[in-house]
Structure 1
Amino acid sequence: MKRKGTSTARPSLTRGRLIRLFRFLKLVEKGPQKREQIMKRLHLDIRGFYRDLEALRELKIPIEIGEDHRYALKGTLEEALSHLPFPDPQLTFSDVADLAQGSGPAHEKLRKQWEAMLGERGEKG
């Protein structure tokens, strides 16, 4: 069977998996952890562990393994979280319109998406 090449597409990430990836990052942020420790804390089997590790790597979140066979976050948790998508908060269009009124970078990101959806006329909610 032919192996698939590396893809630039974002891995399929459910709400539960995103939460588990966040918890994975919190664990390895505290310091290097053995695979068995991570699996036990996150209730993962070996296959799930390696799938999550691959998902983090596909998201450009560097996890390294040391000579002592412990996994550690390379860089800061803040840097890692800037690559980890947030689970869908189920916002309404009205919620997004309200949030787009803020002045921070996240507000600006929402505002650009909002404006793109409205088209060139720049209609307001």
Structure 2
Amino acid sequence: MLLPARTDRERALLRGAKARIDRLDFYPTPVRTRHVRILCAPWAFHIPGMRRFVGYECGPLILTKRPLDQVSEDLIVHELCHVWQDQHRRIRMWLSYLVLGYRANPHEVEAREAVRLTRAR
């Protein structure tokens, strides 16, 4: 699948979210964003099980329910934290959702914490 070139808004969201994530020391190496893309894909959020989400990470792909001009940097920080987790422990991360579910999953807790710790006061 060929993706269109990154938009200015996509570049700005990624740049801002990466700068925030880079202040954290959750993993031994920084998140790599070279291949990360953010795409508005409202159709994906009509799939059963996806309806409650507004963003979703699948490897280097971050899907959003809303157009990028309506997406907050906080959402991208959350999803980019999942990209980072995926880069460091893909199998453990994906299996944790099967075993532990969503709400109290340590990966979700960590992504929410990444937003909280890096949010401007």
Which structure has the larger Rg over C-alpha atoms?
A: 1
TM-score by length of 1: 0.25
TM-score by length of 2: 0.26
Higher relative contact order structure (alpha carbons within 8 Å, sequence separation ≥ 6): 2
